[in-house]
Structure 1
Amino acid sequence: MMSNWNGTIIGPGHTVHENRIYRLREVPGCCAGGAVPSRLNLPLVSATTGTVDPARLPALASWARASSLEHVLVDIRKEMASPVNRKLPQPPEGSMF
């Protein structure tokens, strides 16, 4: 049973995230959410703790045994590239929780 894991997201091109690398870690029980230790300004990520709100991310809101870390990472990357979020001001590079 995987209860703690790490993932990496490379920021999508033509966004404020381009050429940045973000890390995701620790998603106990998978459907409970997780934390983005790299600071990231997105509506689904808490600005104070870096915790991902599972209700706001489709891959976590509909978590099933067949789901994978890849689903979570792809959904977060899609949020980064969405027209609403692609130009949100971001914390300085290298900022961590």
Structure 2
Amino acid sequence: MKLEESEGLAMGSEGPSAPVVVPRNFRLLEELERGEKGIGDGTVSYGMDDADDIYMRSWTGTIIGPPNTVHEGRIYQLKLFCDTDYPDKPPTVRFQTRINMTCVNQETGLVDPRLFPMLGNWQREHTMEDILTSLKREMSTPQNRRLHQPQEGNEDQRVEQKGLSVKCVIM
């Protein structure tokens, strides 16, 4: 049971007190531990980008596309940025891998909170795991399961994502 969901007893009191609000860093440490252990069937995972980041802001997520969709077998990389107001406010979520989904901006890869209910109707109890599993479910919805996807394995796309340019000279 998560701490923020339990009703604790105040020291020396007879009755229940207000729900315990877990501080941001404790909450993120709990999420990190869960992410490191693996989630469910292994088709969704996440972890910190930099173990030395004491603010625990930058995270990487991975989703393996669900079966019986155009996403099947594809591996999607995401960046999640948890600002100082997380978990009271949702993280910023951006697909690093190009994807065509109704809730994702095609140019930037940002998941639009107006089009993705979990971010738009954020609740403190939601976690990064919840976001990733919800995005995976979204891939299976009728409006997303058959959308044409950008080609994968294209060298130009990978280089473009890193912000590098490549020149080829044929002699």
TM-score normalised by length of structure 2: 0.52
Report what 2:147 is aligned to. 88
2: CA distance between counterparts of 1:33 and 1:9? 16
Distance (whole Å) between structure 1 residues aligned to residue 118 and residue 59 of structure 2 = 16
Q: Distance in 1 between matches of 2:58 and 2:120?
A: 18
Q: Summarize the Cα distance change of 1:32–1:69 in structure 2 as closer, same or farther, 3 Å threshold.
A: closer
Residue 12 in structure 1 maps to residue 71 in structure 2: no
Cα drift, residue 26 of structure 1: 2.9
> Structure 2: how far apart are the matches of 1:8 and 1:21?
7
Letter matched to residue 92 of structure 1: Q
Give CA deviations for 1:39-79 in whole Å, capped at 9, x if unaligned. 00011111111111012112211222221111111111111
- 1:1-97, aligned counterparts within 5 Å? 1=25, 2-29=56-83, 31-94=90-153, 95-96=157-158, 97=161
> Structure 1 residue 3: deviation in Å?
2.4
4+ aligned runs moved over 3 Å, structure 1: 94-97
Farther-moved stretch of structure 1 (30-39 vs 80-89): 30-39
Structure 1-normalised TM-score? 0.87
Q: CA contact under 8 A between 2:61 and 2:80: conserved in structure 1? A: no
- Once the two structures are TM-superposed, the CA of residue 21 in structure 1 deviates from its matched residue by 0.7
Gaps of 5+ in 2: 1-24, 26-55, 162-171
| Farther off after superposition, 24-33 or 4-13 | 24-33
| In structure 2, distance between residues paired with 1:66 and 1:84 | 27
- Unaligned stretches of 5+ residues in structure 1: none
Task: Select the structure with the greater relative contact order (CA < 8 A; seq sep ≥ 6).
Answer: 1
Once residues 80 and 132 of structure 2 are traced to their aligned partners in structure 1, the CA distance between those partners, rounded to angstroms, is: 13
Q: CA RMSD in A?
A: 1.7
Q: Give me the identity figure in percent.
A: 41
Between structure 1 and structure 2, the one with the greater Rg is 2
d(CA) in 2 for partners of 1:56, 1:71: 16
